[in-house]
Amino acid sequence: MARQVGFIGLGKMGEPMAARLLAAGYALVVHDVRPESVAGLVAKGARAAASPAAVAAAVDTVLLSLPDPAVVRQVTLGPDGVIAGSKVKAVLDLSTTGASMAREIAAALAAKGIVGVDSPVSGGVAGAVKGTLAVMVACPKPLFADLEPMLKHIGKVFFIGERPGMGQTMKLANNFLSATALAATSEAIVFGVKAGLDPATMIDVINAGSGRNSASQDKFPRAILPRTFDFGFTTSLMYKDMKLCLEEAAAAGAPMAVATAVRELWRRTFEEIGGDQDFTTIVKLLERDAGVEVKRS
């Protein structure tokens, strides 16, 4: 009999991850606030549940993929949340919430005999579809050994440590570097275009030299130079991650001067370009400031 697991949050990241688990033979019980998202998974063989509590009453392992810490708290600890389920024993949060929230949720779940597994993922929508995400897991080592075979279906699994929050700290450090690469590369290309250089040539040179990074190798060729701005991650989510990173760094007593400057660029992008816009539109903020447009000739 296939192992039954629950999956809550069937958005751009959650739906392909859930679909991969279904394809791997897991029996899924799913929930999302959008009926159309649930219907898509049900058509593939999943079973729908009316609430997070109902999911947690049907299975012993529940995975979450949710947009922000407030939603994670409500879905996990709310009156009809996962914590109210009668069967659940482990809750895996694949979202980005920050270490403080991971610790808070883990403590509340532990009081009910449930293990909170801090397990954020990185790699974007393309990684979720292909099953190539980086999965950063913090939980007791024996539980990790039990969960790893399942998590391998969504990506490369890393054991970060046993304390709740360690996975979130790793994820925020990674996302800080990703946010910085995109912001800095956008600044560099806008500067070059303003000075008369061709942006496509600049990207080719950067990718052949020491400046290459995730933005120059992937985001610029795929979403910025062709002006599609459809990479699949919003400016609001990136700004949220940068704020969380600096909050956690301050709590840890780690100064982050570069992160502070990068957060300011993402704040402006969020407020002036729009939180619902793709995060590759950060280049539009810099284009407007410089009076140029970055596009393939």
Which active-site residues does the annotation give? 171
The 10 Å CB-count burial string (b at 16+, else e) for 43-63 is eeebbbbebbbbbbbbbebbb
**Distance of alpha carbon 246 from alpha carbon 264, whole angstroms:** 11
Residue 158's Cβ-side half-sphere holds a number of Cα atoms within 13 Å equal to: 14
Q: Where are the alpha helices (DSSP H) in the chain?
A: 14-23, 35-42, 52-58, 69-77, 99-110, 124-130, 141-151, 166-194, 199-208, 214, 235-252, 257-268, 282-290
Judge whether 26 and 1 are in contact, CB under 8 Å.
no
Judge whether 142 and 115 are in contact, CB under 8 Å.
no
**Distance of alpha carbon 230 from alpha carbon 224, whole angstroms:** 9
Partners of 63 in the beta sheet? 7, 92
The single residue listed with the structure tokens 């995730």 is 214
CA gyration radius for the chain? 20
